[in-house]
Chains A and B, each alone.
Chain A
């Protein structure tokens, strides 16, 4: 254990959550009190709530069960590492399932009212002026999930014990909003709602030294880079008559490159080309081969995911 300075402590009771200002260099510990409890979590840039933790981006970078040594990322076009998972004594979290909602409990179980993560999150963050529309998909701490053979996500029971915890180190000032998942009629929290303990620590130098560097790129844009940086404050959508489309890199222009293949190269090509997809369209098959080769040789991340190693 550590000599970190404790800045604040809370216990969040079943059916509740808590919005916490977590400043850069502070650590939020989410800890099991009795064991077996899922915590839903999201966070916002404390100085610009439009930047929030995005499960889709996080899932693409770190897979379905991010754990110790991974980051929580904000949504495009910000795409910054917001929090670093410094410690995780269990190693089983979920970014497949969205937060549970009132609709789920009414549609599937017949409840007129039931504790649910969307409404708990909304109520906790209302303390900072946010609305139910400002709840985003949650990073589900301690939630044990997987994917069936038919492609559906499933959840099962967890094996967490009292004292198990996840430590989240803030890499920017955030409003962190953990809540006690409201699911007591599902396996998520082993069919019971239990409290969770929250502790905020000041990170020490050793903690900060454990965070891998991530790239800073021009594509990580903020409102100063937006063509429209103004947050819309009314609800109806109306066309802007002054709008002129400015899609990047358009129009897309095709250039033809004549590639001469020797008989030996043609034989080589015919042996590996994806005839199953492109049929006799050799131009398309050769383009596929070219970029498939490029991915294999040069790509540092899974295809479609950003590389996060800093050069």
Chain B
């Protein structure tokens, strides 16, 4: 299936923060950093969902 393109709009301060994060070695470039954020954010929500299910509670995405 084709990839979907989302056009992220960031200002220079936001770009500075993500570029500093990249400079720390967290990801090789901006695209990779956004993908890493998506994967980790989704994984954390999934873990929270599982935890809530196991304890009988279910909360929406935060």
Contacts and interface: CB of A to CB of B under 8 A. Distances in A.
A257 B41 contact: no
Interface in A276-311: 276, 282-283, 286-287, 289-294, 296-298
Task: Tell me the interface secondary structure of chain A in the complex.
Answer: helix
Nearest to B36: A293
A261 B21 CA distance: 21
B52 interface: no
A272 B61 contact: yes
A104 B49 CA distance: 49
B54 interface: no
B8 A257 contact: yes
Contacts of A233: none
B34 A286 contact: yes
Contact of B8 (A256, A273, A296): A256
Given A253-B11, A255-B11, A297-B40, A290 B3 contact: no
Q: Give the interface centre of B6, B11, B34, B35 by most chain A CB atoms within 10 Å.
A: B6
B41 A292 contact: yes
> Looking at chain B, what size class is its interface with the partner chain?
20 to 34
A296 B10 CA distance: 19
A287 B9 CA distance: 7
Nearest to A252: B11
A268 interface: yes
A279 B4 CA distance: 17
Interface string A253-265: 1111111111101
A260 B31 contact: yes
B44 interface: yes
Contacts of A282: 6
Contact of A257 (B31, B40, B42, B45): B31
A261 B7 contact: no
B51 to A, nearest CB: 15
Contacts of B6: 258-259, 261, 269, 282-283, 286
B15 interface: yes
Interface string B14-37: 110110010000000011011101
Given A256-B9, A286-B8, A294 B17 contact: yes
Nearest to B41: A293
Q: Give the interface centre of A257, A276, A298 by most chain B CB atoms within 10 Å.
A: A257
Nearest to A273: B61
A259 B36 CA distance: 12
Contacts of A274: 61
Given A290-B8, A293-B41, 8 more contacts: A257-B30, A263-B4, A266-B4, A286-B6, A286-B38, A290-B33, A291-B14, A293-B40
Interface of A: 249, 252-263, 265-266, 268-269, 271-274, 276, 282-283, 286-287, 289-294, 296-298
Interface of B: 1, 3-15, 17-18, 21, 30-31, 33-35, 37-42, 44-45, 60-61
Top 3 A-B residue pairs of the complex, sorted by shortest distance between their CB atoms: A293-B37, A268-B42, A260-B3
